[in-house]
Structures are given as C-alpha cells and as structure tokens.
Amino acid sequence: MRLHDCLPSANGYKVRTLFAQLGLAYELVPVDIFAGESHTADFHANKNPDGRIPVLEPEPGRFLAESNAILLFLAEGTRLLPEDRFARAQVHQWMFFEQNGVEPNLGTARYWRLSGREPQQPEAFRQRIAGGVRALETLERHLRTRTFLVEERYTVADLCLYAYVHLAPEAGVELTPYPGVLAWLERVRQQPGFQGTLPPYPANAHVR
Ligand SMILES: N[C@@H](CCC(=O)N[C@@H](CS)C(=O)NCC(=O)O)C(=O)O
C-alpha cells in the first residue's frame, strides 16, 4: 500500500499511526502541499478532487481520500473497529464530531498560528478557537467518567480524536482545564505502536 502524505499533517499522522498500530507496511509518497503538489491536474483527476492529503493507494491506481475514511477502511476486521453495529455507529459518531468540531477549529487555528497566518484574520482565528474550546468541553464531559470514547476500549475513534486534540496547545489552547481529556490522552499514548511527535511545518509553509 502507498500513502500520499505530507509529514507535518496531523490528518496524515492518524493514518501513519494506524499503520504502525496494525503492524502494516506501507510506502510513503511525499506530497509538498505548500508547493501546490496536491493541486496538479493529475492529483485532482486521479487522487483526490479536493486536492488534499492524506490519500491512500491500497492497490495501484485506486485512491481513497479523507483521513477518517482511510482509518475506517484500514481498521475493518481488526480489534480497533467494533463489530457490534451500535458500537461501530458510536465510533462513527466521534469521528464525525472530529471532522465537524475538532479538525476545522483546533487544526486550522494551529496551522494559522504556526505558519504566521493568524494576524491576517484575527476574527476568524478567534471563532476557530471558540469552536475548539467548545469541542474540548464536549470531550471533557464525556471522558471525565470513561477510559476511552466507545465502550471503554481503545478504538480507531480514540486515535482519530487524539491527533488534533493533543496539539491544542500549539493552537494556543491549554489543556489543563480538561483533566479527563488529559488522562485520556495519556492512555492513548500507552497503546502499542503509538507514534510520537509530528515534524514541524517546513519553511515554505510560512507566509513571508
Ligand atoms: N477532511 C480531510 C482534510 C484534509 C486536509 O485538510 N489536508 C490538508 C493537510 S492537513 C491539505 O492537504 N491541505 C492542502 C490544501 O488544502 O491545499 C481529511 O481528514 O483528510
């Protein structure tokens, strides 16, 4: 399998971590998204019409985009995705929440802050932070009394949410007001195959 990815991406990090946790080998195909490599005619036509990474190529010529769709595809039939229909729907619930409440808020705010884009759009940045804080409050309400997001066992939903939640301080949002979230992050870090930190954004990600 091949993964078209850019290493500082936390969406890509989700997939790379799952590969490690499942013990699956893959070939990394680097895509310099800051140089426009995900917006070539070939990339749009054949890999992802949305022009974004990560993109999984499970077999030559077949491409799957959206990090959470990739996670669910790879986790099928493994211990990280429950077979029970309702538990599986709860996994989906949290992964949809991640794409609605966490990634567009904490993920975008982090990118803007680390790449120098924050001062260009202070009001939009403030709104993303407010949305991120609301998502953290939601997670805290759920995790204060639970070990993992679904049925007290580690699933692909925990990995999915971990990616941008643990990076909240890089968006400027401290996690100390969320002790349940902090304890859960630590439990995720203890999982076999856990991957460490992400590399920083390259120089060409920054506004000049
Ligand atoms: N919802 C998508 C978001 C993917 C995404 O935003 N990827 C970013 C990197 S983290 C990207 O490729 N950006 C390049 C661009 O938008 O031109 C997912 O979960 O995979």
pLDDT tens readout for residues 41-99: 999 999 999 999 999 999 999 999 999 999 999 999 999 999 999 999 999 999 999 99
Neighbours of 26 (CB within 10 A): 17
* The pairing of beta strand 55-59 with beta strand 62-65: antiparallel
- Maximum pairwise Cα distance, the chain: 51
Q: What is the CA(21)–ligand 1 centre distance, in A?
A: 22
Residues β-bridged to residue 28? 3
Q: How far is the C-alpha of 85 from the C-alpha of 101, rounded, in Å?
A: 24
| pLDDT score for 208 | 66
- Do 59 and 92 lie in one domain? The reply is no
The dihedral through the CA atoms of 35, 39, 40, 42 has a sign that is positive
Structural domain for 74, as ranges: 2-78
How do residues 103-121 score in pLDDT, each as one tens digit? Answer: 999 999 999 999 999 999 9
Q: What is the CA(181)–ligand 1 centre distance, in A?
A: 25
Minimum-distance ligand 1 atom for the alpha carbon of 65: 20
- Do 73 and 97 lie in one domain? The reply is no
Which residues surround ligand 1 with Cβ inside 6 Å? Answer: 9, 11, 33, 38, 51-54, 66-68, 99
- Do 108 and 24 lie in one domain? The reply is no
